Amino acid sequence: MPGLLATALQSATLKASANFTAQMVNQHRLPDGPPLDWRRVAEFGTFGFIQGHINYWWQHFLEDRFPNSAARASRGHKSSLSSSSVVEKGESKPEKPIPALPGASGASGSGSGAAIAPGKKNYFNVARKVLVDQTIGLFIMNSAFLIITSALRTGNASLVYQIWSERIFDLIKAAWKLWPLVALCNFMFVPVGYRALVGMTVGFAWNMFLTFFLS
C-alpha cells in the first residue's frame, strides 16, 4: 500500500507527465505553436505533489467516516457495548455471558441505520462517499488546482482569485462528466490505500484536459 510520500511523488510525476504529453500533442497538431513550456510542467508537478497529500488524507477520511466494511464499522459499536457492560457495585455478576441473538450484532455502518452482516459491503455508505466526494471533494481539489497553478504562474493574489472565481464552477461541471463513475468504481472495488493511485492514473487523461482548459 503506497504511503503518503509515495502517493504525493506519484501524483507529482503523473501530473507533470500529463502536462508534458498534452503540450507535445499540441505541438504536433500546431507546428507553429508556442514552444514547450517547462514552467507549466513544473507547475503541474508542484500541484500534483500538494494534491497527492490532500487526496491521501481525503480518501482515508471518507473511508473512516463512511466505511465499506460492516465489520470495520462495528468496531466503535462493540467497544461502546463492552464499556457499558461493566457491572455496577452491588450487582450480581452473571455466571455466563448472555449469547447474542442471531442478527443482533450487525453494524450500523456509521449511522446508516441498517444492520449489516460482517463482511457485507455497505452500499449506502458507498453512495454517501460518492456524493461527498463529488461535491465537497471536487470543490476542494479543483480549487486547489486553480489556486496553486495560478499562484505559481502569476504571483498576484487578486488575479488568482479572479481566475478561481471565473473557472471553478465550469471546471466542476466538466469534472462531473467523468469523475462520478470513476469515484463509484473506486469506492466499490478498490482498497482505500490504492484509491488515490487509481484516481491519479485516470487523472493522467484528465490533466491533459486541464492543460487545454488553462490554455
Higher-pLDDT residue of 42 and 106 is: 42
Check pLDDT > 50 for residue 39: yes
Instruction: Please indicate, yes or no, whether the overall pTM of this predicted structure exceeds 0.85.
Output: no
Query: CA of 50: how far to CAs of 95, 147, 167, in Å?
Result: 57, 12, 20
Instruction: Identify the band that residue 212 occupies on the pLDDT scale cut at 50, 70 and 90.
Output: confident
In this prediction, residues 179-200 reach a mean pLDDT of 92
Q: Tell me if 83 is assigned to some domain.
A: no
Domain that residue 47 falls in: 4-29+37-68+107-214
Report yes or no on 82 lying in a domain. Answer: no
Domain membership flag for residue 80: no
> Span 90-103, mean pLDDT?
48
114 within a domain of the structure (yes/no):
yes
Residue, of 145 and 210, whose pLDDT is higher: 145
The tens digit of pLDDT for each residue in 105-136 reads 343 344 444 444 556 889 999 999 999 999 99
Read off the pLDDT of each residue in 59-74 and give the average, rounded to a whole number: 81
Whether 79 maps to a domain, the answer reads no
pLDDT higher than 90, residue 93: no
For all residues of the chain together, what is the average pLDDT? 81
Greatest extent of the chain over all pairs of C-alpha atoms, in Å: 90
121 - beta bridge partners? Answer: 69
Residue 187 pLDDT: 96
**Residue 129's CB: how many other CB atoms inside 10 A?**
25
- Residue 137 covered by a domain: yes
**Does residue 203 sit within a domain?**
yes
Count how many domains the chain has: 1
- In-domain check, residue 85: no
Strand ranges in the chain using DSSP code E only, listed in sequence order: none
39: exposed, middle or buried (C-beta count within 10 Å: 0-12, 13-18, 19+)? exposed
